Amino acid sequence: MKALYSHQELDITLTRLAHQLIENHLDFSNTVIIGLQPRGVFLSDRIHQKLQFLLPDIQIPYGKLDITFYRDDFNSPGLLHQAQETQLDFSVAGKNVILIDDVLYTGRSIRAGLDALLDFGRPQHIELLVLIDRRFSREVPIQSDYIGMSVDVIDNQKVRVLWQENDGKDEVVMIAPKKIAHK
């Protein structure tokens, strides 16, 4: 296991990402933030909190989007997906949407998020913010606009984002596959 972000490094990166959003969206007058369920909402919660701290007089619409029924592997045998709650009390029609997820891997979750998002209106513009971009593993042509860190990993390695709220600590690690002992 290799640490990619410690608690402090993660906090610095989240602050940088929040400042990049402010630079590009200024007063957020026509911008909304939407986190993808399940794991992207931990990141989107943090980003939204940082933005509210940095811009205390601006209320930025924030929602959470479940993509379970939009996944292309939803009916695959052997996979059990648990639906999460969608919390969007606003229309995205004509809005600039910042879609947030923790790890961009194959791009399939983001594609599902885009499909789900269109059920809430037709946005003017969509941007993607991810904490980790696993660059060379895309299966669909998706790229992020805001990236915490790009990593190159071997296909069988995993990147795991740990959040205090869910995992008891803030950390991002790369996990190597277990080696099989030969007799």
CA distance 77 to 44: 31
pLDDT (average), residues 124-134: 97
pLDDT of residue 144: 96
In the block, tokens 């194959």 appear at: 106
Tokens for 183?
A: 């007799």
Beta-carbon neighbour count of residue 134 at 10 Å? 21
Tokens for 116?
A: 């789900």
CA distance 109 to 71: 7
Assign residue 26 a region (left: φ > 0; alpha: ψ between -120 and 50; beta: otherwise): left
Look at 135 and 35; give whichever has higher pLDDT.
35
Q: Which residues contact 4 (CB under 8 A, 6 or more apart)?
A: 132, 149, 151, 159, 172, 173, 174
Name the 3-class secondary structure at 25.
helix
pLDDT of residue 154: 77
Name the 3-class secondary structure at 171.
strand
User: In this structure, which CATH number among 3.40.50.300, 3.40.50.2020, 3.40.190.10, 3.30.70.3270 belongs to the domain 8-20+30-71+92-152?
Assistant: 3.40.50.2020
pLDDT of residue 183: 54
Q: pLDDT tens digit string along 149-160?
A: 999 887 688 899
Radius of gyration of the chain (CA): 17
Q: Rounded mean pLDDT of the chain?
A: 89
Look at 73 and 2; give whichever has higher pLDDT.
2
pLDDT (average), residues 91-113: 95
Cα separation values, 127 from 3, 19, 151, Å = 28, 15, 20
pLDDT of residue 181: 55
- What angle (nearest 5°) sits at the alpha carbon of residue 20, between those of residues 16 and 24? 170
SS3 content of the chain, % helix, strand, coil (to 5): 30, 25, 40
Domains in the chain: boundaries: 8-20+30-71+92-152
Look at 122 and 183; give whichever has higher pLDDT.
122
Name the 3-class secondary structure at 130.
strand
Look at 141 and 81; give whichever has higher pLDDT.
141
Q: pLDDT tens digit string along 41-81?
A: 999 999 999 999 999 999 999 999 999 878 665 455 555 55
